[in-house]
Amino acid sequence: MADDTSPEGPADAAAGEPTAVPDVAAEASAEPVALDEAHQDLLARLEAALGDAIVETGVAVHDLVVRVRRDAWRQAGEACRRDLDCDYLSFIAGIDWLPTPRVAGDDAAGDTSSPVQPTEQTPGIAGSDGRFQVFAVVGSTARHWWLTLKTDLDEADPRVESWVPVYPGADWHERECWEMYGIVFDGHPSLRHIYLPAEFEGFPLRKDFPLLAREVKPWPGLVDVEGMPGEAPGAAEEVATT
Amino acid sequence: MTTTNPTLPGPGGLPEFEVDPALYRHLADAQVNVELDTGDMILNLGPQHPATHGTLRLVVRLDGERVVAADPVIGYMHRGYEKLTEVRTYPQITTLINRIDWLSSFANEVPFVAAAEELMGIEAPPRALQIRLVLTELSRIATFLLFLGEMGLQVGAITPAFYGFRDREYVLNLIEAVTGGRFHPNFNRIGGLKDDLPWGWLNDTRHTMEKVLDSCDTFETLVADNPIFEKRTRSIGIIPAELGAAYGVSGSNLRACGVDWDLRRDGRAFLPYSDLEWKVWTHPDGDSFARYWVRLQETRESARMVLQALDGLASGPVMAKVPRIIKVPEGENWVSCENPLGEMGYYVVSKGATGPFRVKIRSASFSNVSILPWLLRGVYVPDVITILGSLYFILGDIDR
């Protein structure tokens, strides 16, 4: 039965010495955030475990978002699992903060059938430094809380420590992240393609990777949108569709 | 002989959990006495296999009848939805995410729409939320009825599958009557729903829910109480609760390991589940049988929830006032909900445009299946099929 199993989780096996903290002064969460009691407790526990490895914190609608230093990424995962009761790994994913390039054929002047993203790079919740970030959501099945962790990567050589020894479920998520963004996870047992064929070149979810379907056949735009009943013909082109 | 989960050179990094040898006793009994020279053999299950619900390929290395290592090969249905969401507007995206888990499309739409609504500060009217709840539960019932029937098929019983398909049809008819689509409703709008319920639908639904409760009894006597079914599923494919959670296994699969965690009750309350009286079902065993049993109880529970929700349906509009151009303010939001298959979530990053900057789609089956390399080691080949069937995944939900 389930409770007959050994209590030693992978976290205990891998919980080594915390990585040496360099002298660079990372500012500890100075930004005041509106948090409820459970999340304040969560943040206090995380601060106790990670100290000045926390770069910045923020709130995304309801959830706490914590950005940690890159060298403390695995340590943060271990702290979540050990000190925060976060036994559940929801996902690990990457993000490319480069502004979305204009897609060929996507002439957005007045065309609301295709989104137009801002052209300047803005940081996300809890900030971002540079182009690539890895973020993960962990949760607690007993305490019912969620936590989003982020860390910045080096653009020229995006790599970070793997979470596989902490959460075994990180295996596939990190393979996907490597395949889609080219982010290398040090210590991952077999970083290989998961969705795409082994000979695939390029990293499709990077913002500068062209969406070939749009290159080959331009987006038709608003041509197929009918006007709402009672509207003058052509009014649909001026206002949006639903 | 002792038949613990053997320590094998897997892909590496897989944690070892001791499983009580007594649980495997009947496996040892079934072992053939003759010593044959059995070198390792590679067996390809799929990509086209009746047990895989789509195109999952499973490469298993066998030592005799035993699985030494298993490597699921996915991606045959990868459609790149995360890339496509970056060139779509919010209303267009519900069309895409309908096709992630195609057995319960309506339940896929709800968390995404809720994420956008929360970022925009829009609240859907109470009636819309209640209808969303009812349709989500109907999707769950349709999904689980198919499972309850198909699981019989995985162990060689053909009859339950016909019952499963027949009863699911009743529920799909209800969904079709409201939304116009059997599989891909595309019925949610940011701020509410496309339409109200059709006339006479409430009574039809009440009758159908009685039928569903009846057919759950049928499945209980026909499948769950069947000694052959129990022999094929009891103590097969045991997931330890702690390991399951660390792998991200969720939903009924995790509740079958004894974890009392249901996002309908414990997650963020964007559907009015707290207005209903219902129970979260768990089973302590964590084996294939427990997964069947939990889903059977949850089907009943969902039918009762639908009946309750129909009685308490509020009147009023089903659509809030929203601008015609949907622009979501800059921000990030993580919303996940209890999909029939497990935790389905969207991490939406918005830059204030008419479409999202990035959407991370967290689908349940992807994480549920990622435990297979650990789970399949040491089991017999026929049990591979029952374990795959009992985990219950949809390939569109793995590959996205």
Which residue in chain B has the smallest CA separation from A120?
B351
Percentage of residues in chain B with pLDDT exceeding 70?
88
Rounded average pLDDT over A123-147: 86
Q: Verify whether the Cβ–Cβ distance B332 to A169 is below 8 Å.
A: no
pLDDT at res. B256: 92
Q: What pLDDT is stored for residue B10 in this prediction?
A: 46
pLDDT in tens, B7-36: 444 445 555 556 565 655 555 544 444 455
Confidence at residue A50, expressed as pLDDT on a 0 to 100 scale: 82
Contact A185/B at CB under 8 A: no
Contacting residues of A for B259, CB less than 8 Å apart: 141
Q: Looking at chain A from residue 105 to 124, which residues have their Cβ under 8 Å from any Cβ of chain B?
A: 106, 112-118, 122, 124
Contact B267 A214 (CB under 8 A): no
CB spacing of B354 vs A144 below 8 angstroms: no
Residues A131-160, mean pLDDT to the nearest whole number: 89
Q: Which residue from B minimizes the CA distance to A122? A: B351
Per the model's pLDDT, the better-predicted residue between A24 and A95 turns out to be A95
Side-chain-side CA neighbours of B50 within 13 Å: the count stands at: 10
Amino acid in the structure at residue B83: K
Helices (H), chain B: 25-30, 81-84, 90-97, 105-120, 126-154, 159-179, 201-219, 227-233, 241-246, 252-255, 263-266, 288-311, 364-370, 372-375, 381-391, 395-399
Q: Which residues contact B221 (CB under 8 A, 6 or more apart)?
A: none
CB A9 to CB B189 under 8 A?
no
A/B interface, count of CB pairs below 8 Å? 199
Mean pLDDT of the residues in chain A: 75
Instruction: Tell whether A216 lies on the interface with B, counting CB pairs under 8 A.
Output: no
Within 13 Å of residue B374, how many CA atoms lie on the same side as its CB? 25
Pairing of strands A132-139, B40-45: unpaired
Least confident range from A112-121, B41-50, B177-186, B218-227: namely B41-50
Task: Tell me: pLDDT of A23 over 50.
Answer: no
Asked if the C-beta of A178 comes within 8 angstroms of chain B's C-beta atoms, the answer is: no
* Structure tokens given for A127: 């900030």
Percent of chain A predicted with pLDDT > 70: 71
DSSP H stretches of helix in B241-285 = 241-246, 252-255, 263-266
Q: What percent of chain B has pLDDT over 90?
A: 25
**How far away is chain B from the Cα of A143, in angstroms, using its nearest Cα?**
9
How far does CA B161 lie from the centroid of its chain? 18
Residue B128 pLDDT exceeds 70: yes
Residue A1 banded pLDDT, cuts 50, 70, 90: very low
Least confident range from A76-80, B55-59, B287-291: namely B55-59
- What distance in Å separates residue A195's CA from the closest CA in chain B? 4
Give chain B's mean pLDDT: 84
| Average pLDDT value for residue range B306-333 | 86
Please spell the DSSP secondary structure of chain A, one letter per residue.
-GGGS-S--HHHHH--PPPPPPSS-PPPS-S-----HHHHHHHHHHHHHHGGGEEEEEEETTEEEEEE-GGGHHHHHHHHHHHS---EEEEEEEEE-SPPPPPTT---TT-TTS----SS----TT---SSEEEEEEEE-TTT--EEEEEEE--SSS-EEE--TTT-TTHHHHHHHHHHHH--EEET-S----SSS-TT--S-TTSTTS--HHHHHS---GGGGPPPPTTSPTTHHHHSPP-
Minimal CA–CA distance to B142: which of B379, B303, B365, B314? Answer: B303
At A7, is the pLDDT very low, low, confident or very high (cuts 50, 70, 90)? very low
Higher-pLDDT residue of A112 and A195 is A195
- Most B CBs within 10 A among A3, A5, A6, A145, hence the mutation to make, goes to A5
Q: What was the pLDDT predicted at A4?
A: 41
Best of A95, A171, A219 to disrupt the B interface (most B CBs within 10 Å) is: A171
Closest alpha carbon within chain A to B188: A242
Q: What is the pLDDT of residues A26-75, one digit of tens each?
A: 333 334 446 677 778 888 888 888 888 888 888 888 888 888 988 889 88
Kindly determine whether residue B334 and residue A148, on different chains, have CB atoms separated by under 8 Å. yes
Please give the pLDDT value at position A242.
41
Q: Name residues whose C-beta falls within 8 Å of residue A163's C-beta, 6 or more positions apart in sequence.
A: A73, A74, A77, A89, A92, A136, A170, A174, A185
pLDDT in tens, A70-124: 888 988 888 888 888 888 999 999 998 888 776 544 555 556 677 777 777 788 8
Alpha carbon of residue A125 to chain centroid: 11
Mean per-residue pLDDT, A137-152: 89
Domains present along chain B, CATH in parentheses: 81-390 (1.10.645.10)
CB B98 within 8 A of CB B85: no
Residue B211 predicted with pLDDT over 50: yes
With an 8 Å Cβ cutoff, is A87 touching chain B? yes
Does the distance separating the beta carbons of B246 and A88 come in below 8 Å? yes
> By CA distance, what is B258's nearest residue in A?
A2
Distance (Å) from the C-alpha of residue A145 to the closest C-alpha of chain B? Answer: 8
CA-nearest of A140, A144, A124 to A132 is A124
Q: If you average pLDDT over each of A158-172, A197-211, B32-46, which comes out highest?
A: A158-172
What does the pLDDT read at residue B297? 92
